[in-house]
Amino acid sequence: MPVGTQGSVKGLTIEQVQHSGAQMLLANTYHLALRPGHELVRKLGGLHAMMRWEGPILTDSGGFQIFSLGELNKVSEEAATFKSHLDGAVIRLTPEYAIEIQEALGSDVAMVLDHVVALPNSPEVISDAVQRSIRWAARCLAAANREDQALFAIVQGGLDETLRRQCATELAGMDFEGLAVGGLMSGVMEVMFSAGSACASGSGRPSHVLRAIALSDAEAKSSIRLGFGRYTTMEEIERAAELLNAGAEAQGV
């Protein structure tokens, strides 16, 4: 799933992306709402038409930007309020507005707005963010209108297994089409994979990807790619993981 944050995969034409064997693209709600603007994307026919991509598209909600642009936003129970990194304009990103933007973009999979915090952090901060993420997920679900767009919730909890399990259990009890693992892989994914569809994008090292595959069902193992692109069999994925892990260890990553 190549990253096309602003509606394009940098350095590649859409034909090159297609020939790479990529099956799905990722774009970002926050960045596209700023530029070129989600209403303009809607007028162009949605992301599929704008990007000339016929395959599925997943849009992230802007929750990661709460962390990555932490100096430019403030979080309240109602919303995350950003000061644009482009021109200083104020953007008030509520769970409802995150869904509105993604429905205008026309992605196949939309993500709920979650509260992502930096790690390590205090147990109080992480717990507060998890509880808010659960409440925001429910608000996103209530705001969703498109029947042709799957909505995924995001499990947070840092490295706290109890919080991870609580978050996963509560979200699994809501009517989402799937769950995503937010933040780090920490050995507590069984609950999420038993709940149905699961997304482990951005999970980190290849060993984390293989852990996700091991916890998925047999049918998924035969077709899952999880970011390895042209590697299509378990043997090829495992070999690619060995090579990537060896390279990462050699660089001290």
Residue keyed to tokens 């209403």 = 39
pLDDT-derived band at 57, boundaries 50, 70, 90: very high
Predicted local confidence at residue 186, as pLDDT: 32
Q: Give the separation between CA 41 and CA 118, rounded to whole angstroms.
A: 31
Tell me whether residue 151 is in a domain. Answer: yes
Predicted local confidence at residue 5, as pLDDT: 86
Tell me whether residue 81 is in a domain. Answer: yes
**CATH number, domain with residue 192:** 3.20.20.105
Predicted local confidence at residue 250, as pLDDT: 58
- H, E, C per residue of 133-174: HHHHHHHHHHHCCCCCCEEEEEECCCCCHHHHHHHHHHHHCC
Predicted local confidence at residue 252, as pLDDT: 54
Q: Rounded to the nearest 5 degrees, what angle is found at the Cα of 69, between the Cα atoms of 68 and 75? A: 105
For the chain, how many structural domains are there in total?
A: 1
Q: How many CB atoms lie within 10 A of CB 147?
A: 6
Tell me whether residue 38 is in a domain. Answer: no
Tell me whether residue 250 is in a domain. Answer: no
What single-letter amino acid sits at 65?
Q
Give pTM, 2 decimals.
Answer: 0.76
Tell me whether residue 173 is in a domain. Answer: yes
Tell me whether residue 51 is in a domain. Answer: no
Tell me whether residue 120 is in a domain. Answer: yes
DSSP strand pairing (90-93 vs 109-111): unpaired
Rg of the chain's alpha carbons, rounded to an integer? 18
Residue 229 burial class via C-beta count within 10 angstroms: exposed 0-12, middle 13-18, buried 19 and up: middle
Domain that holds residue 80: 63-105+113-203
Buried b (16+ CB within 10 A) or exposed e, 64-85: bbbbebeeebebeeebbebeee
Sequence-ordered list of residues with C-beta below 8 angstroms from that of 238, at least 6 positions apart, any chain: 210
In tens, the pLDDT along 71-116 reads 999 999 999 999 999 999 999 999 999 999 999 999 999 999 999 9
Residue 123 burial class via C-beta count within 10 angstroms: exposed 0-12, middle 13-18, buried 19 and up: exposed
Tell me whether residue 10 is in a domain. Answer: no
